[in-house]
Copies of this chain bind each other. A is one copy, B any other.
Amino acid sequence: MLDTMEDLSTKEKIILAGSEIIVKEGLRKFTAKNIGNKVGITDAAIYKHFTSLDEIIVEIINRYISRCSQSVDRALAMNLSTEETLKQVMREHIKVLEETKGAVPILCFEFSRSGNKKFFDILHGFVENYKEKLSNIIEKGKKEGIVREDIDPQETAMLFVGLIQAKVFAYIMENREGPIIKNPESLISELFYGIMKR
């Protein structure tokens, strides 16, 4: 069993173990037996918590999506400056990414190929929705005159999503341990350097 998840409920352990398998071993190893082994229960016990293995994946994706979406709404509700709002959103997104161990960007990659329409549609819908929310904030920044005029909000929103994807790939290819993004604040400020008016 994993030592990092002693006091979690079994359901949480399953989600965590599943995420880790997806990231570190690939979808091919995402089997009931492997997940059970990692959690410390039998394969059959998993079905006391989920009706199918697909449901685990849906849960992993949905948590990521809802947490990211919520963090945008929360950041907006905080009534910060546009710049701080954007930064807050990015900070939160990176936090969710770390907590889910990078599983969702990997799933994006896997399902963009596998032709599994069910998962692809969920992920695609999320990316579209999230892009819209982010680009609205960037658009507002442009109106306020703090974001460069020649920035395309949609493009820049996608750049952020793409950047996260790239970071996860790098993390995996370099076989690293620990956080995916070592220094979130510096990544965020680098990104901002390119879009803010000076």
Interface residues of A (CB under 8 A from B): 23-29, 108-110, 112-115, 162, 165-166, 169, 172-173, 175
Contact = CB atoms under 8 A, between A and B. Distances in A.
Q: How many copies does the complex hold?
A: 2
A128 to B, nearest CB: 14
List of 3 A-B pairs having minimum Cβ-Cβ separation, nearest first: A28-B28, A26-B113, A26-B114
A26 B172 contact: no
Contact of A173 (B27, B114, B165): B165
A25 B169 contact: no
Contacts of A175: 112
A26 to B, nearest CB: 5
A173 B109 contact: yes
Contact of A114 (B28, B112, B162, B165): B28
Contacts of A109: 169, 172-173
A24 B166 contact: no
A28 B27 contact: yes
Given A109-B169, A169-B169, 18 more contacts: A24-B113, A24-B115, A25-B113, A25-B114, A25-B115, A26-B110, A26-B113, A28-B114, A109-B172, A109-B173, A112-B172, A112-B173, A112-B175, A162-B173, A165-B169, A165-B173, A166-B166, A166-B169
A113 B109 CA distance: 14
20 contacts: A23-B113, A25-B113, A25-B114, A25-B115, A26-B27, A26-B110, A26-B114, A27-B28, A28-B28, A28-B114, A29-B114, A108-B173, A109-B173, A112-B172, A112-B173, A162-B173, A165-B173, A166-B166, A166-B169, A169-B169
